[in-house]
């Protein structure tokens, strides 16, 4: 079972439908006990970094999500759920993220004269071609973004996908069985659905179940 962390932020139904579309049994999880029964964990997030951090803390699942993201179990962070894996964000000074990765989330500069937020399709450059959750993803694939802030990892080796919107930044990070994306895979058609399919397959493999083709 794929657990989608429901901590009171955003519409999670589109993520659930996308996971089901690629063969996953996806359920919302709202407690540590429900997280413990999952084979893979998805941390979505939309809106303000500070609001998401506060809501996750109030949910009682903070420590469990953190422990999962630090383990080798399949984990997928999406949008603000990706940003929360870092230490802090310029969007919410004084609010601490989960701190799974060293680094800060920064706001786009207006020096390039581009619209902020970035809304729409952009291509990615693959930086970790052997990442298990990026199997089949190619440089030049398009994915869908909606954001004003982007993460700056202190460890360059974490960057799995890179893109450019004025400045070049990490569109995704990966470490073993963890993938986290600034873009929305559930809205990214072929490339996004392929990442989710890889994630579902990995979770099912770990659970000893047959993968749905």
Tens-digit pLDDT profile for residues 140-161: 999 999 999 999 999 999 999 9
3-state SS, residue 165:
strand
* pLDDT band at 207; cut points 50, 70, 90: low
β-pairing verdict for 2-5 and 40-43: parallel
Q: Is the per-residue pLDDT at 206 higher than 80?
A: no
Give the pLDDT confidence of 125-140 residue by residue, as tens digits.
Answer: 999 999 999 999 999 9
Active site residues: 79, 184, 186
CA distances, 207 to each of 78, 168, 202, 211 (Å) = 23, 37, 9, 10
Q: Is the per-residue pLDDT at 210 higher than 70?
A: no
- Rounded Cα gap, residues 209 and 202, in angstroms: 10
Q: Is the per-residue pLDDT at 212 higher than 50?
A: no
pTM: 0.94
The domains of the chain, with CATH numbers, are 2-207 (3.40.50.880)
**Residue 77 burial class via C-beta count within 10 angstroms: exposed 0-12, middle 13-18, buried 19 and up:** buried
């Amino acid at each position: 079972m794929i657990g989608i962390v429901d901590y009171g932020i955003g519409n999670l139904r589109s993520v659930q439908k996308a996971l089901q579309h690629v063969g996953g049994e996806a359920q919302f999880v709202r407690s540590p006990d429900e997280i413990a029964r999952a084979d893979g964990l998805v941390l979505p997030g939309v809106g303000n970094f500070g609001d998401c951090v506060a809501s996750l803390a109030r949910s009682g699942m903070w420590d469990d999500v953190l422990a999962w993201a630090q383990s080798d179990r399949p984990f997928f962070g999406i949008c603000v759920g990706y940003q929360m894996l870092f230490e802090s964000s310029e969007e919410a000074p004084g609010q601490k993220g989960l701190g799974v990765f060293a680094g800060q989330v920064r706001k786009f500069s207006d020096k390039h004269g581009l619209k902020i937020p970035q809304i729409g399709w952009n291509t990615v450059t693959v930086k970790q071609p052997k990442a298990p959750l990026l199997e089949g993803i190619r440089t030049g694939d398009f994915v869908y973004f909606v954001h004003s802030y982007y993460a700056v990892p202190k460890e360059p080796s974490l960057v799995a996908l890179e893109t450019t919107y004025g400045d070049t930044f990490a569109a995704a990070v990966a470490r073993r069985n963890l993938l986290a994306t600034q873009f929305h895979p559930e809205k990214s058609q072929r490339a996004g659905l392929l990442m989710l399919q890889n994630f579902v397959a990995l979770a099912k493999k770990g659970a000893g179940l047959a993968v749905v083709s």
